[in-house]
A and B are shown apart, each in its own frame.
Chain A
Amino acid sequence: MNARWMKVAGFVLCLVPLGLLAVRGLTVGLGANPIEVVTHQTGWWALTLLMVTLGVTPVRRLSGWAWPIRLRRMLGLFAFFYAALHFVTYLWLDKFFDLRDILKDVGKRPFITVGFTAFVLLIPLAVTSTRKMIARLGGKRWQRLHRLVYVSALAGVVHFLWLVKKDIDEPLMFMGVLAVLLGYRGVAWAWKARVAVRQQRAAAGGD
């Protein structure tokens, strides 16, 4: 399958959760508390897609395949899309745009504070995701800015962990996945630093 079709398939796949939610809503219904279902589903998929996005680099490096990188921007934007749906559900269906209530929530409830942070951090990343913006910022600066995704993902998982009553299994699973994804980067970075030092030494010895 060529890269173009990969992208189309990925696009459709990323819409499946939303599609199923809509179909369920219009047919059997979303149960006794539909708004809760929508909130949980959109949040769960935002986190999941964020993890998938973070998985692109390790998969590419470890497998040598080039195609995952072509999907990365789209996956990241879909993560943002579901996060935005999640956020709007909260603003509209939970708080009815009551700004005072929302500000109180953001200031007073750590799980909202940290979830809000996770979402806000994604905004500049989504805004600078176009080719034009990459060119304008320059690769290095763009890359540095986009490291915010690590903070956002961590904040997102903590948000999940802090909001559940007692059943922390699923949040801990996300935490484990995130630890592996960030751990990979840590190891890769340390390895690169070591190789660089060796090369420098080798270069110095050769003089």
Chain B
Amino acid sequence: MLFRKPPDVRPSEITDQALYLNRRKFLAGAGALAGAAVIGGSRLLEIVTPSTVAQAATLAVASRTDYAGGEKPTLLKDITNYNNFYEFGTDKYSPATGAKQLRTRPWTLVVEGLVKRPKTYDIDTLLKLAPLEERTYRHRCVEGWSMVIPWLGFPLGTLLRQVEPTGDAKFVEFTTLYDPKQMPGERTNVLEWPYVEGLRLDEALHPLALLTVGLYGAELPNQDGAPLRLVVPWKYGFKSIKSIVKLRLVNTQPATTWYKSAPTEYGFYSNVNPEVDHPRWSQARERRIGEFLKRKTLPFNGYGDQVAGLYAGMDLRKNF
């Protein structure tokens, strides 16, 4: 089967067949090849770093706190080019380009439900609602990869206390923008739209739960959930809902998107837990983006000291 003579096939012949048989993969690769040949090293950097990053407005940072044990944050180009954001496609590389078309102004957040003072906030009001803290958190995806991200925001509790939840309020339900024109993924039925997430009220009031407007000192890039997202560092990433338009205080457990899609795989709590595997893969270890070897996953993503108390007496295998 190995040829005896070195191949001297006409290049044109090979190209034609490759184009025909493997158009998609071939073009992607050919693009990379052409890119490498034509453009110098500095230009290559631009290709892998979306321009939205450069355009994002910087934000005033009131304080900086490291919650990741001194670990160096993941590269911005990785944080902005490797995203799970099904509203812009199910693969992790499309949101970087697909989310560019998302208009984040004007943008409002409706806070309603079991609150004494329901209110609609303009995003620019929210940006000034509280001093913006930079918090470097570990971020663990349910798929087994993780990052370290310097988020910018303020505790969700600050907002919740403003609207004053009533005594009946037990949960907070979050909703992402529903606009299939801007979010092409919402035209598919891969998930039920709009994306909905939820927290128990005491979880939402926990000081680590961060209402987030930026990262790396600037406004959130669209693909990372602009202009407003949640960050709950002790839970799997999908709990940290992106591009939020509504926050509703309710007294029953919200029907959250991934839970509805596969209740046996994505629990309502979804606390990071190396002891409880996803039914189809292990959660014992994770790959930190930028690292070669996998590392051990920590219970509550390493925030057990602060948050384990929220779940005292609960069976975390049952309430996964």
Chain A positions near chain B (C-beta within 8 angstroms): 1, 4-5, 7-9, 11-13, 16-17, 20-21, 23-24, 27-29, 31-33, 35-36, 73-74, 77, 93-94, 96, 101, 104-105, 108-111, 162-163, 165-167
A interface secondary structure, majority: helix
- Residues of B in contact, count (CB < 8 Å): 47
For residue B219, give the distance in angstroms from its CB to the closest CB of chain A: 21
B14 adjacent to A13 (CB under 8 Å)? yes
Q: Given A8-B9, A28-B48, A96-B294, check contact A13 B18 (CB 8 Å).
A: yes
Residues of chain A within 8 A of B35, CB atoms compared: 27-28
Q: Given A32-B82, A109-B281, check contact A20 B9 (CB 8 Å).
A: no
For residue B15, give the distance in angstroms from its CB to the closest CB of chain A: 10
A110 adjacent to B29 (CB under 8 Å)? no
Could you mark each residue 17-52 of chain B with 1 if its beta carbon is under 8 Å from any beta carbon of chain A, else 0?
A: 110011001101110110110000000100110000
Assess whether B108 is interfacial by the CB under 8 Å rule: no
Residues of chain B within 8 A of A1, CB atoms compared: 13
B3 adjacent to A27 (CB under 8 Å)? no
Assess whether B314 is interfacial by the CB under 8 Å rule: no
B14 adjacent to A77 (CB under 8 Å)? no
Contact of A24 among B22, B32, B289, B294 (CB under 8 A): B32
Contact of B190 among A5, A21, A36, A166 (CB under 8 A): A166
Residues of chain A within 8 A of B277, CB atoms compared: 108
Residue ID in chain B nearest A22 by CB atoms: B29
Residues of chain B within 8 A of A7, CB atoms compared: 1, 3
How long is the Cα–Cα vector from A12 to B9 in the complex, in angstroms?
A: 9
A23 adjacent to B29 (CB under 8 Å)? yes
A20 adjacent to B26 (CB under 8 Å)? yes
Assess whether B191 is interfacial by the CB under 8 Å rule: yes
A166 adjacent to B191 (CB under 8 Å)? yes
Residues of chain A within 8 A of B261, CB atoms compared: 166
A27 adjacent to B32 (CB under 8 Å)? yes
B280 adjacent to A111 (CB under 8 Å)? yes
B1 adjacent to A74 (CB under 8 Å)? yes
Q: Given A9-B14, A13-B21, A31-B93, check contact A105 B282 (CB 8 Å).
A: yes
A9 adjacent to B1 (CB under 8 Å)? no
A33 adjacent to B145 (CB under 8 Å)? yes
Contact of A8 among B7, B32, B145 (CB under 8 A): B7
Q: Given A28-B44, A163-B280, check contact A12 B90 (CB 8 Å).
A: no
How long is the Cα–Cα vector from A17 to B86 in the complex, in angstroms?
A: 27
Assess whether B78 is interfacial by the CB under 8 Å rule: yes
Assess whether B81 is interfacial by the CB under 8 Å rule: yes
Q: Given A8-B3, A162-B280, check contact A28 B36 (CB 8 Å).
A: yes
Q: Given contacts A33-B82, A33-B145, A105-B282, list 11 more A-B pairs with CB under 8 A.
A: A7-B1, A13-B17, A17-B25, A24-B32, A29-B48, A31-B82, A35-B287, A35-B292, A36-B287, A109-B280, A109-B282
